[in-house]
Amino acid sequence: MKNYFIFILKSAFFDFSRNKGRTFLTSLGILIGVLSVVLLIAFGLGLKKYINDQFESLGSNLLRVLPGKILQNGSFRGGSSGALNNIRFEEKDIVSLERLKSVELVVPVFTRSVTVSVGKGTEAGDLYAANEGVFIALNAKAQYGTTFTKSDVEKRSKIVVLGPKIAEKLFGTEDQALDKNVKVEGQTFKVTGVLESKGGGGFGGPDLDSFVYMPFRTAYVFNTDKKIFAIIVKAKTDISLDQAKEEIKTALLKRYKEDDFSVIDQAELLGAISSIFAIMNTILVAIAAISLIVGGIGIMNIMFVTVTERIKEIGIRRALGARKNDILYQFLIESVILSLLGGLLGVLLAFIIVSFIQKLFPAYIDVNSVALALGVSSLIGIIFGVFPAKKAADLSPIDAIRYE
């Protein structure tokens, strides 16, 4: 039994080393397929981790109250969510939610894009108007100076708190921003604080580090309708999120209809976002998998050539007592090795590429994707090797041994 595998592997590798170029090119097809599949999975995993981290950094026990029905069966509701028909939350909703027993704090949020300038330098930024509770809810602390207070909100103080990225862009270094004036859409505000970095950003996710935070009522100058885009609610820690959610719903149902608003917790939102990315990722991986099939066809092609080149050998082996299945397995093993070789190189290359990408993005390769890649490449070796191997096995011994 030991000799069986040694002799068969030796035959295989003899053939591979005699046809190095051919072997490499054949494996290359699988290499490219495996590489693209593994890379895409690594990106998908990285994206999922990134989103997770972002949400985790936002603090726990948070609920978001949004106008309109956002989620359906755990996914974002497509189609006619009807932004035009949406209700608009008002200040009295905030007040009524603040009265609830299960609620620790309520933060109205209004956002819009603005231009921010210091002297001659101008940057595009996002205004994030909220009350003082936002820093507790988002778990954001001031690195320099202080965050704004309840009285700042009520007195409409002309101040802003900057995220570290925008502070650095505007002032060169973060600490330079403190107590300086910035112009937001041409109006002057004093910087009273710069937040600690929360990390993340890019890829369309919320980048807390780039926001210009402004007391909610101060921002009325940019929000003349006093719109509230969303309400962040932090539930008391000893209260379950579901209980808080029910209380909020009951309170809001006094004014609005069931479908007019949504109360979503982090997990739901995360689940919904993740499911979108998961679908996208699956589609991409499926497209990449087509290249694996092409690679498999390459293997089949070469295995047919190999079988033809080795008819004489097949005949000798049959004369020595090899059964049809012995020949079948021999060529199957060869095509699996050929395919696995490509798979291994593909995984190796994917690891190298991912290690470079990791500096920019938290993509990573897990055990499952390595197992999947190697499993799939073995499977391809078997599927696309079986026809050539069958052809070899079905040769009549007499025709094979006579073949010159």
Q: How far is the CB of 29 from other proteins (least distance, A)?
A: 25
Strands 159-162 and 187-195, sheet pairing = parallel
Residue 234 makes CB contacts below 8 A (sequence gap 6+) with 59, 61, 62, 63, 103, 104, 105, 106, 107, 133, 136, 137
Q: How far is the CB of 20 from other proteins (least distance, A)?
A: 15
Q: How far is the CB of 15 from other proteins (least distance, A)?
A: 8
Cα–Cα distances (Å) from 128 to 88, 211, 375, in that order, read: 18, 6, 49
Give the chain's end-to-end CA distance (angstroms, integer).
31
Nearer to other proteins, 189 or 331 (CB): 331
Rounded to the nearest 5°, which phi and psi values hold at 116?
A: -120, 130
Residue 111 makes CB contacts below 8 A (sequence gap 6+) with 126, 127, 128, 129, 229
Nearer to other proteins, 20 or 120 (CB): 20
Cα–Cα distances (Å) from 220 to 96, 293, 367, in that order, read: 21, 59, 52
Strands 142-145 and 159-162, sheet pairing = unpaired
Q: How far is the CB of 392 from other proteins (least distance, A)?
A: 14
Binding site for other proteins (CB under 8 A): 3-4, 7-8, 10-11, 14-15, 312-313, 316-326, 396-398, 401
Nearer to other proteins, 175 or 394 (CB): 394
Q: How far is the CB of 11 from other proteins (least distance, A)?
A: 6
Q: How far is the CB of 365 from other proteins (least distance, A)?
A: 36
Nearer to other proteins, 152 or 313 (CB): 313
Q: How far is the CB of 384 from other proteins (least distance, A)?
A: 24
Long-range contacts of range 173-177, CB-CB < 8 Å, 24 or more positions apart?
174/143, 174/144, 175/144, 177/144
Nearer to other proteins, 207 or 313 (CB): 313
Nearer to other proteins, 292 or 327 (CB): 327
Nearer to other proteins, 14 or 76 (CB): 14
Q: Encoding tokens for residue 335?
A: 């095509």
